[in-house]
Homo-oligomer: A and B are copies of this chain.
């Protein structure tokens, strides 16, 4: 369904970098979910560029919810978020329009849209559109939290520096979700920032890996074929610009080991079934097993760099050299983190609503609530 995602909780994204608004329509939300504007703002703030390691473009991200909310709560009808674009530069994009930026969508957009695309600032492909994802995700994240489901992401590596591993998930997620630069070990974070600044100084950029945990999802969610938890999450995650790989649990590490190293053995704890390890990232056979859902996203180095690059003139089909100017992020991984959380929230909420019904997100969390609706 093109720019719409979800079977029962659906988000439709729209907007271009230099259009009037970017935004989204979120349909299938239960009625009665409280809108926490402070939280939405704080999430948008985490996505916004800040300091030397980000682009100088600053947007207030003053979102407005223009439908689907009444007296501070969701109505259950489509919820529309608008975020005005206020900081577009008026520079003449047409001058460099013909030169496709390597690693960007300029050329592919041209092939798809035959030159009718809004090319200014990346148009509909701009990372700016993720602000709408974050605003919509914030609403879903706060609804999930009421149900005991929390999501958090850390920068597992950036510029070759690795963060500590998750050890105490609940506490670490709580801490990460308030940090601008989301690492477990702030010393490693400082090293990463130094790498980003070094790349920026070279007119270059860096990438990294984001690792995400989702806690509190009951066992038994997902489908055996096609709509597996991994399939649904990855489908949504690959929308995030610069994400080129998604692994669940220890996927790319497991490939070099043996089954006996990586089968997560079961045991009983407090009458609940747990796994002793979680190499499979909380999913077996496409379905949740009640353990934390763990996945990692490979974020490629930002393609906007200031070094001269070989490219082509897409209209005249001639070779050319491109030297970008203007405002660009030397890294987006620290900003992409909250986008990952938002997308994960949307995808997992869709699976939960499919399983437990439209109203589930609104229902009070009581001991055994999941069993009740069974």
How long is the Cα–Cα vector from A254 to B158 in the complex, in angstroms?
11
Sorted from nearest, which 3 A-B pairs have the closest CB atoms? Answer: A105-B285, A245-B251, A245-B247
Fill in one digit per residue for A94-119: 1 if any B CB lies within 8 Å of its CB, else 0. Answer: 00000010111101110111101110
Residue A171 CB within 8 A of the other chain: no
Partner of A255, one of B249, B280, B289, B299: B299
Are A28 and B16 in touch, CB under 8 angstroms? Answer: no
How long is the Cα–Cα vector from A252 to B259 in the complex, in angstroms?
23
Identify the closest chain B residue to A195 (Cβ).
Answer: B258
A-B contact pairs, 15 of them (CB 8 A): A3-B226, A14-B67, A14-B77, A32-B116, A67-B124, A74-B116, A75-B113, A76-B117, A102-B264, A108-B286, A114-B362, A129-B225, A207-B259, A225-B239, A280-B300
A115 to chain B, nearest CB (A): 8
Are B280 and A103 in touch, CB under 8 angstroms? Answer: yes
Report B-chain residues with C-beta under 8 Å of the C-beta of A16: 67-68, 70, 75, 77
Q: Which of A356-371 contact B (CB under 8 A)?
A: 356-360, 362-363
Identify the closest chain B residue to A64 (Cβ).
Answer: B20
Are B67 and A268 in touch, CB under 8 angstroms? Answer: no
Report B-chain residues with C-beta under 8 Å of the C-beta of A268: 312, 317-319
Q: Give the contact stretch, choosing among A41-49, A52-60, A135-143, A303-311.
A: A303-311
Partner of A209, one of B76, B252, B283: B252
Are B108 and A301 in touch, CB under 8 angstroms? Answer: no
Are A108 and B285 in touch, CB under 8 angstroms? Answer: yes
Identify the closest chain B residue to A70 (Cβ).
Answer: B118
Q: Which of A160-211 contact B (CB under 8 A)?
A: 160, 199, 202, 204-209
How long is the Cα–Cα vector from A191 to B108 in the complex, in angstroms?
41
Are A286 and B100 in touch, CB under 8 angstroms? Answer: no
Partner of A373, one of B298, B314, B359: B359
Partner of A67, one of B22, B236, B264: B22
